[in-house]
Amino acid sequence: MMLINTLLSAIEHELKKQVARLDEPHTRFFHDMLTYHMGWTGEGAGPESTGKRIRPLLVLLSAASCGADWQPALPAAAAVELIHNFSLAHDDIQDNSDKRRGRPTVWKRWGIAQGINVGDGLFVLAHLALLDLNNAYPAATVLNAVHILHQSCLDLTRGQFLDILYQDRLDLAVDDYWPMVSGKTAALIAACCHMGALLGHADPERQEHYRAFGQFLGLAFQIQDDLLGIWGDEALTGKSTVSDLVEGKKSLPVLFGLEKNGSFARRWRQGAIRAEEVREMAALLEAESARKSAQEAAQEMTARALDHLRRAEPQGEAGEALRSLANQLLGRGA
Amino acid sequence: MMLINTLLSAIEHELKKQVARLDEPHTRFFHDMLTYHMGWTGEGAGPESTGKRIRPLLVLLSAASCGADWQPALPAAAAVELIHNFSLAHDDIQDNSDKRRGRPTVWKRWGIAQGINVGDGLFVLAHLALLDLNNAYPAATVLNAVHILHQSCLDLTRGQFLDILYQDRLDLAVDDYWPMVSGKTAALIAACCHMGALLGHADPERQEHYRAFGQFLGLAFQIQDDLLGIWGDEALTGKSTVSDLVEGKKSLPVLFGLEKNGSFARRWRQGAIRAEEVREMAALLEAESARKSAQEAAQEMTARALDHLRRAEPQGEAGEALRSLANQLLGRGA
């Protein structure tokens, strides 16, 4: 855990340096909105509001577990976290979310216009951060990293497009799930591990194992999250907006349920689920095998992720930490 | 004009190729929204809806007037036009604009959530387009172009931040104008000319003259636009939303008027200008020298732009076309 804490502290320092590009007299308030969104300033600022910085950790641990120094890869670590935060800032507007990690969202505090621009600013800062790799890597390597990150961003907008599109659709099936979560969740996590291996000087075959590890890790993680969103302790208490069922989220268990076309699907198609129905609907889904099917899918993705990780042959303390982080994300204990 | 038509046709072809990255079965409707925004499809599609493609023309003419082939620079031309369109897509939401070039805006047709994502998609496509320079230029040159474009995007978000911030402010002065329009308008136009010269293999000093030409061209063009927004034929007829005075736009003449703190400023501070007041308010501004001051500023920026263009020594037919395009944009006839 020593290593993780060292990395987390270095990531935070690098992120602040990158965001400080906007810390100028004319744009100080712009900078303030960004540091609020990042969890550093304003009411409720602190570790609880920053998120877990999983993506930058994956970049650095991937690089270090290939046997390279992680320090020169810090700009890439900052870049992926800024991309993640760009997508959150826009997602909050697109989903009409008032709160993120218990605090008012940027658009809720300062309006949609500034909210969109905060996301755009984070997006640009991510790409400028990545170019700082130039100080430590050959131009061709930097361009390769830039390409990996942009391609994952394109996938991100594809996934987001589908997510928005699905909101009003009642005819979805399990096949519709994979392109959405591949884009929304897995593409950026795959890019983190891929870039890490690239910056760790891994050969193309090993890079591909790291990339595939990230891809399946992202998918397995998303399905875990979907399962917790319905059967997690908080979700089952039925507090409104805690259960994905109340939110109408097109999660994997719901899509298995819709495909089954039984009692769950009939009720779902009649309109929004109320908080007091949450336990009953979760029980219906379970009776119709949707929970089991989603668990099996998570297990399959987990097995594939761990297989690629094994074949990527992560080394040393960073390799241990990477395996441990993966197991933690996959709900298999630290 | 032969050259311009050849370039325009090549630009359109390259743009369509770049946007086609999203033309896949799952994301066809995403692609449709982008092609609508670009002016290629949907009701009212055609040359009137695409815009004038000034920015990509500046890239190609800058490269060619340095004595290089313009063809290899096409990905950069597509990139700047995609960036411009990304900013328009988000700007339409931020300004609550229902129409663009006579057609319903993307967010008005398909909602704010998809509207934001269309902008994000265009932004990513711009950067992926730029990486196609890799086929024809050394990695270090491509990275340089990537840096120029990202830096102009950061300036763009800075300018946009100020524009939104100014909406509710009554205490603005002329000094507040320059950082806003430097970011919103001039930065990207400067980047076009700078990248063109870079890809035209100009030395750093010559690149800097091209960049500065673009910067002052952008500023002069914006002031011209501001003047037309108040004293242009359409603006003076007083049709609502045609005059910048009705829109409450913080244009340069308005800021000169506010700084004067006379009758115009007193009326402005009392609330939105009505369509029937437009002639009277324009006359007040003129009487208080705001029109003349803005014209002088435009003349100064124009002189600086043309001075840098002269020192950039643009060559051949492309050089002629570049001078002609600049004069046209500066309202000095073709």
Report the pLDDT value the prediction gives residue B47, as an integer from 0 to 100. Answer: 87
Measured distance CA(B180)–CA(B158) in Å, rounded: 7
User: What is the Cα–Cα distance from A1 to A12, expressed in whole angstroms?
Assistant: 17
- For position B334, what pLDDT does the model report? 41
Which of the 8 DSSP states describes residue B314? -
pLDDT of residue A243: 85
CA distance A23 to chain B (A): 11
Distance (Å, rounded) from C-alpha A208 to C-alpha B44?
46
Report pLDDT for B207.
98
Percent of chain B having pLDDT more than 70?
A: 97
What band does B234 get if pLDDT is binned at 50, 70 and 90? confident
**Structure confidence at residue B238 (pLDDT):** 60
Contact assignment for B128 to A121 by CB distance below 8 Å: no
Give just the sign of the alpha carbon dihedral B323, B325, B331, B333: positive
Secondary structure of residue B65 in the 3-state scheme: helix
Q: How confident is the model at residue B330 (pLDDT cuts 50, 70, 90)?
A: confident
**What's the pLDDT score for residue B233?**
82
pLDDT above 70: residue A199: yes
Asked which of A101-115, A254-268, B192-206, B222-236 is least confident by mean pLDDT, the reply is B222-236
Task: Judge whether residue B171 has pLDDT over 90.
Answer: no
Which of A30, A128, A179 is the closest to B161 by Cβ? A30
**What is the per-residue pLDDT across A32-83, written as a single tens digit (0 to 9) for each?**
999 999 999 999 998 888 989 999 999 999 999 999 999 999 999 999 999 9
Q: Where are the domains of chain B?
A: 2-329
pLDDT at B1: 65
Residue B257 has pLDDT above 50, yes or no: yes
The residue type found at B125 is: L
- Residue A235's nearest CA partner among A271, A273, A279 is A279
pLDDT of B333 strictly over 60: no
| CB of A227 closer than 8 Å to CB of A116 | no
- Between the alpha carbon of residue A290 and those of residues A37, A174, A207, A260, the distances in Å are 36, 11, 35, 8
pLDDT at position B254: 96
pLDDT at A178 over 50: yes
The overall average pLDDT reported for chain B is 94
Q: Which of A26-40, A128-142, B39-53, B60-74 has the lowest mean pLDDT?
A: B39-53
Given a cut of 80, whether residue A211 has pLDDT beyond it is yes
Question: A123 to chain B, minimum CA–CA distance in Å?
Answer: 9
Class of the CATH domain delimited by B2-329: mainly alpha
**Residue B254 and residue B1: Cα distance in Å, rounded?**
37
Q: Which residues of A are less than 8 Å from B146 in CB distance?
A: 127, 131, 143, 146
pLDDT exceeds cutoff 70 at A240: no
Does B131 contact A117 at a Cβ distance shorter than 8 Å?
no
Longest dimension (CA), chain B: 61
pLDDT at A334: 41
Q: Report pLDDT for A233.
A: 82
Average pLDDT over residues A172-182: 95
Chain A / chain B CB contacts < 8 angstroms: 141
Of B55, B15, B85, the closest CA to residue B329 belongs to B55
Q: How far is CA A96 from CA A78, A222, B112, in A?
A: 27, 21, 10
